[in-house]
Amino acid sequence: MKKTIFHSLFAAFLLTVVVILPSCAQTPAEWQKLKAGVNLYWVNDMGRNGYYDQKTIAELMGKMALTVGPEAIIAVGDVHHFNGVQSTSDPLWMTNYELVYSNPELMEFWYPVLGNHEYRGNTQAVLDYAKVSRRWAMPARYYSKVFRGKGCKLRIVFIDTTPLMDCYRNDSTTYPDAHKQDRERQLAWLDSTLTAAHEDWVICVGHHPIYAQTPKKDVERADMQKYLLPVLRRHSNVAVYGCGHIHNFQYIKKPGDPIVYWVNSAAALSRPVSATDGTQWCDPSTGFTIISADKQQLTISAINKDGKILYQLPIKKTK
């Protein structure tokens, strides 16, 4: 008799949980508020064969796309763990990408950059996949793309960060392609690209952070601050530098520095995070970011695997 009562109470508890939990997720009516003139999805660190929330987040991205209407997806590195891909026919293209991001709403153009895990394999195969997949729009190792909508122009500048750092360039066994890339040529290209950029908003993205709280080696951020940061700071039009690599969300703002530093969390397998110098907000959830831009305001929104808007950062024009 006691067992029967216990089982009944336990079943009622489970039913209560099932009823309550969905209310934690946000609704299409709330997602509609994210929509602006230009709308983009931003994912990275997702190559886990669908595991560690990857498939869950991919399905959510498709569901939310019906409301938000992203015109493209930017993929900021580590699409493939752990050793990149060996060719354009590597099975990882199917298990990490095609079969996971299969929702019809995600058949938009994807604009990727290489991450450190891609540099463990055949980086040229990642570029060449654009000849295989109609949606894999990767024209070069670094490039820029302008998105337009309702009178707003947003430029995304895609940076190849792995070969900027000596710790990767000096390890040709693990990262065979890193030392072959011309670091100074890329930095000169970036300088000229930012000089010529006159859009309403300019966002630069690369896989590695300039600033972040992380147990990863300090030399990574030191090299990013040495080589990349001076170029960004020469240009007053850079609103955001965004990255992945750390597997959590972080928003960092340094005193006297107009640039917003945004770390997008992993779309598969997140890691703990705590505050560091300049941290305005951080969260260890898996998820992705939505970029929404109008002429006078750029908004960055962190989304978790349940579709909840964890944090929103509105950036308004100062001039």
Q: Are the CB atoms for 244 and 115 separated by under 8 Å?
A: yes
Give the pLDDT score at 26. Answer: 78
Residue 170 vs residues 136, 167, 215: alpha-carbon distances, Å? 30, 6, 21
Rounded Cα–Cα distance for residues 187 and 231 (Å): 7
Chain centroid to CA 25? 21
pLDDT the model gives residue 27: 83
Complete edge-to-edge strand list for the sheet that includes strand 260-263: 143-149, 152-158, 201-205, 238-243, 260-263, 249-252, 279-283
Q: Which residue has the tokens 């009622």?
A: 12
- What pLDDT score was predicted for residue 25? 60
Q: Classify burial at 108, counting beta carbons within 10 Å of its beta carbon; exposed 0-12, middle 13-18, buried 19 or more.
A: middle
pLDDT at 198 over 50: yes
Domains of the chain, earliest start first: 27-316 (3.60.21.10)
Beta strands in the chain (DSSP E): 38-43, 72-76, 109-113, 143-149, 152-158, 201-205, 238-243, 249-252, 260-263, 279-283, 287-293, 297-304, 309-316
Given this model, what pLDDT does residue 20 score? 34
The per-residue pLDDT for range 260-274, each reduced to its tens digit, is: 999 999 999 999 999
Instruction: Tell me what pLDDT residue 2 has.
Output: 38
Summarize pLDDT for 108-165 with one digit per residue, the tens: 999 999 999 999 999 999 999 999 999 999 999 999 999 999 999 999 999 999 999 9
- Name the H helices within the chain: 2-20, 28-31, 54-68, 92, 123-128, 166-169, 183-196, 218-223, 229-233
- pTM comes to 0.91
Closest CA to 289 of 313, 317, 315, 273: 313
pLDDT tens digits, one per residue of 219-268 = 999 999 999 999 999 999 999 999 999 999 999 999 999 999 999 999 99
Q: What is the arithmetic mean of pLDDT over 213-217?
A: 96
Task: Say yes or no to pLDDT of 18 above 50.
Answer: no
Taking phi over 0 as left and psi of -120 to 50 as alpha, with beta for the rest, 167 belongs to alpha
Lowest-confidence region among 14-18, 99-103, 180-184, 256-260: 14-18
**What is the model's pLDDT at position 22?**
37
What does the pLDDT average to over 12-38?
64
Please say if the pLDDT value at position 31 is more than 60.
Answer: yes
